[in-house]
Amino acid sequence: MPRQPEMNSDYGIDAPGVVRNLIVIGAAAIAISLVSLSLPGVPAKVVAIVFLITGLVVAAQALMMVIYAKRGKFHHRDRMLGMMSWKGSERVLDIGTGKGLLMNGVAKKLTTGMSVGIDIWNSSDLSANTRENALRNAEFEGVKGKIEIENMDAQTMSFQDGSFDVVLSNLCLHNIPDKQGRDKACREIARILKPGGMALISDFKHTRQYANEFQKAGLRTSLSSRFYLDTFPPLRIVKGVKEKP
């Protein structure tokens, strides 16, 4: 069974504004359907059915996003980490670490290695999304001595070439608004990977773009199918391996 987070750690709700809007829209649509049901005539009944279905679908999407945030993201974290054969000495980067879910999960697998998290901590991406909360979670998880956190943009990372054995990211790169910027982030990931290193990038859109850019940068790539049962929106994982000379 996937390991659950320690007591008192809090990894937040992803895209809280989207969840809030879905709840409001769903509730409004259901309210309109109830009002329409009280009106006479067939057209009113049709309107009621349409708005009821719309409201239930939208509310279900909000519910699935909350379920993913509270449970699914931990299953997906363990899925990603299970794609590596860990030695314990790796230097690992988590891009868009947020409140540290991947970063802390990696740190638990390390002995002499180091888990590094970077982010710009945009509040629209994750509830209570701050560097301080990432450090707080690391302390609760008992891994504070094996993590480093830096404020850094994925498009302009200051790390030297070949700095990391593994680069991870979940639900981050799609937040870069333009294709040029996302391509630049992918090239940066390829640059900072050590020869033989692996990148695992999980997202719900633009994954083929990431894979294509990794290929251009010389990485051997593969793209998973979508994970419908425990992620929402359904996520895919791009795997890129940097060939040894």
Phi, psi of 158 (to 5 degrees): -90, 0
Residue 13's region, left for phi above 0, alpha for psi from -120 to 50, else beta, is: beta
DSSP assignments along 161-222, one per residue: TT-EEEEEEES-GGGS-SHHHHHHHHHHHHHHEEEEEEEEEEESSSHHHHHHHHHHTTEEEE
| Residue ranges of domains in the chain | 16-71, 73-242
pLDDT tens figures, 156-197: 999 999 999 999 999 999 999 999 999 999 999 999 999 999
Rg (CA), the chain: 21
Distance from the Cα of residue 198 to its chain's centroid: 17
Kindly state the tokens that stand for 42. Answer: 């067939």
The one-letter amino acid code at 80 reads M
Give me the chain's average pLDDT, please: 94
Q: Is the pLDDT of residue 7 over 70?
A: no
The predicted model gives 135-139 an average pLDDT of 95
Kindly state the tokens that stand for 108. Answer: 């638990």
The predicted model gives 79-96 an average pLDDT of 97
Would you state the pLDDT for residue 221?
97
Q: Which whole-number Å values give the CA distances from 85 to 47, 81, 118, 214, in the listed order?
A: 55, 9, 23, 21
Q: Do residues 223 and 211 touch, judged by C-beta distance below 8 A?
A: yes
DSSP 218: T
Q: Do residues 32 and 51 touch, judged by C-beta distance below 8 A?
A: yes
Would you state the pLDDT for residue 244?
84
Q: Do residues 123 and 79 touch, judged by C-beta distance below 8 A?
A: no
Would you state the pLDDT for residue 141?
94
Q: Do residues 152 and 180 touch, judged by C-beta distance below 8 A?
A: no
Quick count: other Cβ atoms within 10 Å of Cβ 109?
Answer: 17
For domain 73-242, give the CATH number: 3.40.50.150
d(CA 71, CA 14): 12
Kindly state the tokens that stand for 151. Answer: 């404020």
pLDDT tens figures, 28-44: 999 999 999 888 888 88
Beta bridge partners of 242: 219
